[in-house]
Amino acid sequence: MSIEVQDIDSVFHISEPWYIERCVFDEEKECLHCYISFRKGATFSCSNCGQEHQKVYDIADHNRTWRHLNFFEYPCYIHAELPRTECINCGKIHRVHVPWAIKRRSNFTLLFDAWIIAMAKDMPMSAISRLVKEHDTQLWRILHYYVDQAIAVQDLSHVTMIGTDETSAKKGHNYVTIFMDLKKKNVIHVTKGKDSSTWEECKKHLESHGGSSEKVRYQRCRWICPLLLLREQQKTFPMQPLPLINSTSFRL
């Protein structure tokens, strides 16, 4: 079943030189397929160096598919030919960047990624997987990608007070230790285990992101930091520790 909607390009935020050629609703599988093309003679920016107005060299993928946000309650898929350009500036041949997806080789659009991240704040990934009807392994990859991107640009130069807590990562004696910025009340580092080595890992992470262990004071929870760890903590963060507390509440 074909669907005709006036100004459908604006509904899907598709901009020139791209345009929606047609939309087809699969009544049997209950999903919407949107076929996107680009104008004849269109030029693109080089995805390697950013040089504008590069002509199409060839078509790398003739039917690339991305999962998009649901259209009402129905899964929606975007299909498009993915061209390559040969840049006159850098001489490289690369696939163009499409405006609806920023990750290379990804099967999901940017808005679908944002939807998954928003739900992951309050729902387990297994429940999200059932809701969107995608394998949870692929959904975890979405989350890991953006977490890694955020960590890579993390600036910890302002951190002067940290707190710590531990939690069980899974059944059995599998723990992770969480370190938090007490002023901004957010997580700055998570590492496996709960022994003294976790403090050294936190120090390495802190200093690799512009922080200094020399100016950090720490606050700790009673039940996770026995006195036998105190000496190691003071070696890692030498300033006088803050008083013990029973619990802390932070954004994960």
Q: In whole angstroms, how far apart are CA 152 and each of 71, 160, 167?
A: 34, 20, 24
* Distance linking the first and last C-alpha atoms of the chain: 45
For 128, the enclosing helix (H) or strand (E) is: helix 125-132
Q: What is the pLDDT of residue 250?
A: 44
DSSP-derived secondary structure for 154-193: ---TT--EEEEEEEEEETTTEEEEEEEETTTTEEEEEEE-
- Stretch 27-31: mean pLDDT: 94
- pLDDT band per the 50, 70, 90 thresholds, residue 194: confident
pLDDT exceeds 90 at position 58: yes
pLDDT at 241 over 50: yes
* Mean pLDDT value of segment 68-85: 95
Residue 193 has pLDDT above 70, yes or no: yes
* Average model confidence (pLDDT) across the chain: 85
Give the least confident one: 3-7, 174-178, 228-232: 228-232
Whether 74 has a pLDDT exceeding 90, the answer reads yes
Q: What is the pTM of this model?
A: 0.79
* pLDDT above 60 (res 223): no
Q: Residue range 182-205: average pLDDT?
A: 88
pLDDT (0 to 100) of residue 220: 64
